Structure 1
Amino acid sequence: MKKAYNETWIANLHILNKAEHWAAKKLLTREQLDQAEKAFPQQFYRPGIFVKIGLFIFTLIACSFASGFISMFIIGDGGQENISIISLFCMAGFIFFLEFLIKKRSLYHSGTDNALLYAALGAAAIPILSLFQDLQVWQFCIIFFAITFAATLRYADLLTAAGSFLILILMLGDMMIKFPIGKAILPFGVMILSALVYMIVRKIKSSYYHDCRKLIEILALATFYLGGNYLVVREGNAMLNDLNLPFAPQIPFAQVFYFFTIGIPVAYIFFGLKKHDRVLLITGLLSLALSVYTYKHYFSPFTPAQELAIAGMAMIVLSAAVIKYLHTPKHGLSDEQEGKRKLANLEAILVAQHLGQTPGEDGNVEFGGGNFGGGGSGETY
């Protein structure tokens, strides 16, 4: 599908963001940063966060007024058909102005275009929900997934990307809970689907979908873990089977979910450290915290005060031990702040070539106060 935003500008924007990051660390001089801005131009309108929020709210209000104005001429007796026609008119208008402003005003996730996109999607949902009320949940999911997925492909919007993934999970769940065996294997279905989505999005290298890819990775890792978490599975099983008991009953294959609850966070942390993947590492740490809560919820012999004291002491001791161990970089890891470390990234050489910088005799490229080795990834994380 053809993309709405200028792909070259987006690629240049990512390069400039990295260049500004390096300049903030004194790895690029002001002159080199100016050269980068000339070599990689982009003309998107990207206001500050508060202006973006204001534009978003103002655009939504304008869309509401426009919808009300159109409805005065078509509302008729207020039947579902008339409301659907109004919604389709509004959807077409919102999409027209969205495309027009992107092309003529060079908007790029600036608040106005986000609001117009969401208004168009909301307008598209009204006739589907009102005219096809007999459809089952999974059938609605197929329709809405197609819409949000198409919107993600064209506009690379984070909310539509997250919506597409969550709709996919909902569709799977609704289809599986209709059968007794489906309820039993639902956790494994969620885990398999999450793993497949994660592997697919990891192959996306386009800078156009950079943020969407990161978000879907996080959601896929989270749902993969939640699908195997003992607490989620046990309580979810009781909810799906309408078991109104003080405590959710034990589930089949409990030992398997014990293993998943502990093993998945450990695997996330291990591979996050090994591959220097922050998404895996942070998701693993959060998952480990939920695993500890899961154990506490069912098996902990301590009072809440004792648990907090033990957890606090354990975190202090572990943090001190890790900081001391990594004071001298080991295995590509270091306890030093990122801004104090040297970067070694192959992309630096590529950017340097555009800026007219050439490697020195020792094979390094010097940018300001740091050295960039030509051997690939650096020794610290």
Structure 2
Amino acid sequence: MKAYNETWVRNKHITEQAARWQRQGLFDEAKMQQIRENYPVGFHESNGFIEIGLFVFSIVAVSGGYFLLATLLSKLFEVDLFYHFFNIGFGSAIGFLAGHLINSRKHYRAGIDNALIIAAVALVIVGVIGLFPNNMPLWQYCFIGLPMILLGVWYYSDLLLTLVAFGTLTVALFDFMLEFSFGKQLLPFVLMGVSAGLYVLARLYEDRDELVYWRDNFILLEWLSLSLLLISCNYYAVRELNYWMMDRRPAEAPEITWAGLFWTLTIAVPVLLFYLGFRQKERPLLIMSAIGWGLALATWRYFHPLFSLEVYLAVNGLSLILVAVFLIRYLRVPRAGFTDRPDEDSPNQFLINAELLASVQATSGHLGSKDGMRFGEGDFGGGGSGDRY
């Protein structure tokens, strides 16, 4: 049992991909209408800007209601226990309201439901943590709240909750490692190992048909894990973090232990991401590899400057423009599975699993092997929603 209709989530996934293929001319509007009828989606659709506005408005409304009720009951807040149960009760009420809107108004990530979900989970966690002693280490509070956040992710598949869960886990590991005398030295390696493990986990489960309800959460987890990996292995980040954790900070950050290793990782990790991304045709790996290269060059320039910042910016900007122009012209003809054509214009593109293709085939009678849509083939196109081909 989930908050949102799982069948509609799956159907939404199918119809969105079918609409992309229909725009590519692989079948006509009549067939597309058949697919919509066979895979109905009852969620309420709205504009992205409207969703942002509704999210902000809902947060303000919940905050206003919370503080108004808290003011009316302020005399009872002198008892700490009542305050904590008030948070739990108010959060539960907000959660019931979110469930009512989801079931009656058919909201799906429409702004209002996202705001109510975040507010409900946050209030319940604050209330539960308040029942524990106030002298516990930070990592223990994080591990108390993390299961409740993950429960919210499981039930709502909310992306903001996924981001919060990832941040909570990172903070918990950070604070926990500092409990040990050697934790400061091992912390970067622990974060690297956790980020790599989370990426592999998300990559393994992202495309499973039975987990389509959380597909976007797994994709977000991939991006977050790769970001943490690049930061935790970067020499500048490790050195500055070590500096700010010192009890008595000197005028400049001192050299760190294993400096040569972190310089190597700063350069080697982006190279490894590029190799894996090129070999597996995975856009997230290639994008994060480019970001990693940028961080590595910026780190090198910070510690070994040869020219002024203006000269670096001008040279790097011109170099990127030339590389972009070259790749655009060079990849007009697909080479080694890569192409400059946008995703919407690539007729051989296949962005989802075989079940989706079979579903669309059964309805439309198109997209057979004659269309070049065999599973696992395709070009690496431009800026669409798909990440791997």
Output the TM-score relative to the length of structure 2: 0.89
Q: Which residue in the other structure is 1:219 paired with?
A: 224
What residue identity is the alignment partner of 2:192?
Answer: M
1:150–1:348: structure 2 CA closer, same or farther, 3 Å change rule?
A: closer
SS at match of 2:77: coil
Deviates more, 1:186-195 or 1:99-108: 99-108
1:89–1:75: structure 2 CA closer, same or farther, 3 Å change rule?
A: farther
Q: Which residue in the other structure is 2:387 paired with?
A: none
SS at match of 2:372: strand
What residue identity is the alignment partner of 1:64?
Answer: S
Deviations 1:243-288 (A, max 9, x none): 5233211112111111111111122122222212111111111121
Q: Which residue in the other structure is 1:76 paired with?
A: 75
Q: Which residue in the other structure is 2:301 paired with?
A: 296
Deviates more, 1:350-359 or 1:143-152: 350-359
| Alpha-carbon distance between aligned partners in 2 of 1:348 and 1:111, rounded to the nearest angstrom | 28
1:37-116 matches, cutoff 5 A? 37-68=36-67, 70-71=69-70, 74-79=73-78, 80-116=80-116
C-alpha contact 2:26 2:367 (8 A) present in aligned 1: no
C-alpha contact 1:198 1:221 (8 A) present in aligned 2: yes
Alignment match of 2:245 (pick from 224, 230, 240): 240
Q: Which segments of structure 1 move beyond 6 Å, counting only runs of 4 or more?
A: none
Q: Which residue in the other structure is 2:358 paired with?
A: 350
1:12-27 matches, cutoff 5 A? 12-27=11-26
Q: Which residue in the other structure is 1:272 paired with?
A: 277
| Alpha-carbon distance between aligned partners in 1 of 2:311 and 2:329, rounded to the nearest angstrom | 27
Q: Which residue in the other structure is 1:368 paired with?
A: none
SS at match of 2:340: coil
Q: Which residue in the other structure is 1:136 paired with?
A: 137
How many equivalent residue pairs? 372
Query: Does 1:122 find its partner at 2:122?
Result: yes
SS at match of 1:355: helix
Deviates more, 1:111-120 or 1:226-235: 111-120
Q: CA deviation at 1:64?
A: 3.1
Q: CA deviation at 1:68?
A: 4.2
Deviates more, 1:142-151 or 1:27-36: 27-36
SS at match of 1:148: helix
What's the Cα RMSD here?
Answer: 2.2
Deviates more, 1:256-265 or 1:78-87: 78-87
| Alpha-carbon distance between aligned partners in 2 of 1:127 and 1:292, rounded to the nearest angstrom | 46
Deviates more, 1:339-348 or 1:15-24: 339-348
Q: CA deviation at 1:324?
A: 4.1
Deviates more, 1:333-342 or 1:27-36: 333-342
Deviates more, 1:40-49 or 1:347-356: 347-356
| Alpha-carbon distance between aligned partners in 2 of 1:376 and 1:78, rounded to the nearest angstrom | 60
Which runs of no fewer than 5 residues in structure 1 stay unpaired?
A: 365-370
Deviations 1:174-206 (A, max 9, x none): 111122211111100100111111111222222
| Alpha-carbon distance between aligned partners in 2 of 1:338 and 1:379, rounded to the nearest angstrom | 9
C-alpha contact 1:238 1:249 (8 A) present in aligned 2: yes
SS at match of 1:339: helix
C-alpha contact 1:39 1:354 (8 A) present in aligned 2: no
Fraction of identical pairs, as percent: 29
Deviates more, 1:295-304 or 1:350-359: 350-359
| Alpha-carbon distance between aligned partners in 2 of 1:141 and 1:153, rounded to the nearest angstrom | 18
Deviations 1:79-100 (A, max 9, x none): 2223223212211211111222
Deviations 1:190-225 (A, max 9, x none): 001111111112222222111111111111011111
1:179-258 matches, cutoff 5 A? 179-204=180-205, 205=208, 206-258=211-263
Output the TM-score relative to the length of structure 1: 0.90
Deviates more, 1:347-356 or 1:220-229: 347-356
Deviates more, 1:335-344 or 1:98-107: 335-344
